[in-house]
Amino acid sequence: MSRIRIFDTTLRDGEQSPGVNLNKMEKLEIAKQLERLGVDVMEAGFPAASEGDFQAVKLIADTITNVSVTALARTRKEDIDRAYEALKNTPHPRIHVFLATSPIHMTYKLKMTPEQVTNQSVEMVKYAKERFPEVEWSAEDATRSDWPFLAQLIEHVIDAGATVINLPDTVGYTTPEEYGKMFKYMKENVPNIDRVDLSCHCHNDLGMAAANTMAAIENGATQVEGTINGIGERAGNVALEEVAVALKIRGDRYGFETGLKLDEIKRSSDLVAKLTGMYVQANKAIVGRNAYAHESGIHQDGVLKNAETYEIITPELVGVSSNTLFMGKHSGRHAFKDKVNAFGVEMTEEEIKAAFKNFKILTDHKREVTDDDIYTLIMEVKTEQSAIEKYTLETFQVNYGTQNITTATVSLNTPAGETIQTAATGNGSVEALYRTISELIDYDQKLLDYQINSVGGGKDALAESHVQLSVEGEAVNGRGTAQDVIEASANAYINAINRYIMKTQANKEQVVNG
C-alpha cells in the first residue's frame, strides 16, 4: 500500500481551542506520546507568538528524536528566525510558513494584491530554505481561493524551495467533491507538483472534515494534517484517529496506510483529553466510551454470536483493553514501576516515589486501582512544574444540607510558608468552597469554567476537575484529582492560581534577563 504521512498539529492548532492553555511540561508529555503513536511530523507550536511558546517548542525539539518537529511561522523573517532558534537542535527540523491566498483574506485582512502575495511567499520560502531542509508552505483559506492563481503561486514556491504544499480548508467551508477536485486540479495544472508532498488540513465547521480529508487522499494528497480527538479552533480539525482507522478498515477501498501504531490511539486520546480538559463525547468515533458498547438487545445478541455482526473495529485495535490487571493496597513499588514501564512513560526515581506515594494514598480508599487511575497519578507528577513556592491545600471542610446554608472552611499553606484559614458561605458546596479559597488569595479572581469528571467508573472512581479562572484579567487553567469530588475541585482551583504565579514569575525573569 502507498503511505500517507501523518502531520499532527495537536500542540499548535489543537491548543488554539478556546479554554485550552497547556504548560510546557504538559506539551512535552503529549509530544512524547505522539512519538510513541508514530506520527511522521508534529507541529510543536508557534515560537514567534510568545516566549512561553518558544520555550515549549524548544524543549520538545531538544527532546524528541524519532519524529520530525516543525513550527509555524508567518512569511516574515523574524518569525522564521525565531522558529530556527527553537528547532535548530532537533534531528529532523522543518518549518511551516503560511500566507492567505483567498480574495477575501487578501483584500480585507492582508490588504495585499495577488502579485504581492506571490512575491512575499517566494521570498520567504527562499529565506526559510536557507535554514531548513524541509519547508512547508500553506495557502491559508485555499478552498476559497482562485484555482488558476493558486496553481501559478504553488509552482513559484516549489521553485523557491518548498518541499510540502498544504491546501487547508481553513474555515471548514468546502465539501468532499469540491476539495477532491481542487487537489486533482493542482496535480494536473502545476507542472512541478511531483517534487513535493501535497498536504490536506481540514477544519470541521460543517462536520465534513473527515470526509473532506478522505476525498483529498483519493485525489493525490500524500500528507494529512489533523489533531488527536479533533480538537482545534472553533469546531476543531479532522481527528487523526478517524482517518488512520478508516484507512486501515477500508484498505480495500482506499489502498493507503499510515505509520501510526493504532494500539496507542486510546492512550493518546485519553492523555490529550486529560491535559486539555476537552473530554471526548461518549459517541465519538473510534475513541468514545460508547464506540464499542451495545445497548440494543438485537445488537447484543449479534455480537455474542459473532462480533463482526456489529463491530467493524475491535477495541484492541485502538488500545482499548477489557483485560485490566487491577492493583490494590498490597501492590508493591516494584509492581507499580513495572506498570509505569508498561505505559512507556519515562520517570525519574523521585517522580516514581512521588507517584507511588499518591497511589498508596488512593488504595486506602479504593479497593481496586485501574490502569486509568495509575496513568492519571503518573501524569499529575510528570506535568507538575514544581520550581516555585506555591499554595497548597492543608485542610478543608464543607457543611452542606438541603435545609442549611452551605459553609466551607479552608486552610491553605501560602508561598511564604504561612498557614491561613477562613470560612465563607455559598449556594452549594463548590461555590462555598471556591468563595472561601478566593478570599484567602490576594488576587482578583473570577471563575470562567468548571468541569468534574470521573476516571473510569464505579462509586469509588477517581475524580478529575478542570477549571478556568480569570486571575488579574488573565485566563489560566487548573487541573486537580482526588477520590473526593470536592477535594478534586479545590485542587483544580489552587492549581490554576499556582500556574498564574509561575507564569508571572517567568515573565518577570524574562524582563530581567532582557
Binding site for Mn(2+): what residues are annotated? 13, 201, 203, 237
Whether residue 277 contacts residue 451, with contact meaning beta carbons closer than 8 Å, is answered with yes
- Our separate counts of H helices and E strands in the chain read 17, 16
How far is 8 from 272, CA to CA, in rounded Å?
12
Whether residue 245 contacts residue 6, with contact meaning beta carbons closer than 8 Å, is answered with no
How far is 235 from 169, CA to CA, in rounded Å?
13
Identify which of 174, 228, 233 has the alpha carbon closest to the alpha carbon of residue 200: 174
Is 246 strand, coil or helix?
A: helix
Please state whether 279 falls in left (phi above 0), alpha (psi between -120 and 50) or beta. Answer: beta
Give Cα 388 distance to the centre of its chain.
25
Sign of CA dihedral 64, 70, 73, 76: positive
Element (H or E) spanning 147, and its range? helix 147-160
- DSSP for 428-464? SHHHHHHHHHHHHS-S-EEEEEEEEEEESSSTTPEEE
Retrieve residue 95's grid coordinates.
Answer: 518549518
Half-sphere exposure of 132 (CA within 13 A, CB side): 35
The Cβ of residue 440 has, within 10 Å, a number of other Cβ atoms equal to 17
Retrieve residue 190's grid coordinates.
Answer: 502545476
Q: Residues annotated in the binding site, as ranges?
A: 13, 201, 203, 237
How far is 160 from 128, CA to CA, in rounded Å?
10
Is 62 strand, coil or helix?
A: helix
How far is 262 from 18, CA to CA, in rounded Å?
28
Q: Order of strands, edge to edge, in the sheet holding 392-399?
A: 392-399, 406-413, 419-426
Radius of gyration, alpha carbons of the chain? 25
